[in-house]
Amino acid sequence: MLIYGKQPVFYALERHRDRIKTLYLAKEIDKKEYGQLMKMGFEIKRIPEIAAQSMVKGGNHQGYIAEISQIVPYASPFLKKCGFIVVLSSITDMGNMGSLVRSAYALGVEALVITGIREPNLEALIRTSSGAALDLPIVVVHNIHDVMHELKQSGFTLYGATLEGKNVREMSFDSKRALILGSEGEGLSGRVEKGLDHGISIEMAHDFDSLNVGVAGAILMERMR
């Protein structure tokens, strides 16, 4: 598994250096920094820019590429141990997913469930979350209705972001709670909405109708802490 870009690679260096197999440098760094990296116990290779661009398929590596051990998603029974989780329903934009992972980890969410995607790109998720996906437990279940059923069986209260939902400022939340977020274009399907215990929304000024799902998700997570 390859990750690249200064921020996610340095996140891995700081918190998960045991995962790093090889660090590839495609830029000059000062001798002191290089000496510190040499003491960390993994292989370091200097590579030309053209080789770096080939490795990341034209992505913005900023001179830093790391090969790390594969991340394996958690199995769904792990969710029973959690108190606060977030479920993504068919969100496919990697920028939004990464933003939500980063917010979830920063705001105390204990696990994040990805649904509607059979094989999410975990390398890209690490990059777009600036490394937070290395720490936040990720569960992948294709069918969201399976997840919702399992969560209800485990005593979770299901809250979903809906346009007609109750103002989140006026809500109180159960100790075992799940926030379900839908795709930016479609939102939650009618069937998912019917399975919720509560629909919640963000009251907005100036007759504004919606927010980016990454922004809305972060606001709702903060209110549900």
HEC profile of 139-206:
EECCCHHHHHHHHHHCCCEEEEEEEEEEEHHHCCCCCCEEEEEEECCCECCHHHHHCCCEEEECCCCC
Does the domain made of 2-68 have the CATH classification 3.40.50.300?
no
d(C-alpha 50, C-alpha 32), whole Å:
26
Q: In degrees rounded to 5, what are phi and psi of residue 176?
A: -105, 105
Does the domain made of 76-224 have the CATH classification 3.30.1280.10?
no
Q: Tell me, what amino acid is at 93?
A: D
Per-residue pLDDT of the chain in tens (225 residues, 90 and over written 9):
999 999 999 999 999 999 999 999 998 888 888 888 888 989 999 999 999 999 999 999 999 999 999 999 999 999 999 999 999 999 999 999 999 999 999 999 999 999 999 899 999 999 999 999 999 999 999 999 999 999 999 999 999 999 889 999 999 999 999 999 998 778 899 999 999 999 999 998 877 767 889 999 999 999 999
Total Cβ atoms within 10 A of residue 58: 8
Specify the pTM: 0.92
d(C-alpha 78, C-alpha 42), whole Å:
31
d(C-alpha 157, C-alpha 84), whole Å:
10
d(C-alpha 217, C-alpha 129), whole Å:
14
The pLDDT of residue 139: 98
Instruction: Return all residues near 150 (Cβ < 8 A) that are at least 6 apart.
Output: 76, 79
The pLDDT of residue 160: 97
The pLDDT of residue 186: 82
Find tokens 């040499």 and name the residue.
38
The pLDDT of residue 179: 98
Domain locations in the chain? 2-68, 76-224
The pLDDT of residue 31: 84
What's 113's DSSP letter?
A: E
Q: Which of 180-219 are b and which e, b meaning 16 or more Cβ less than 10 Å from the residue's Cβ?
A: bbbbbeebbbeebbebbebbbbbeeeeeeeeeebbebbbe
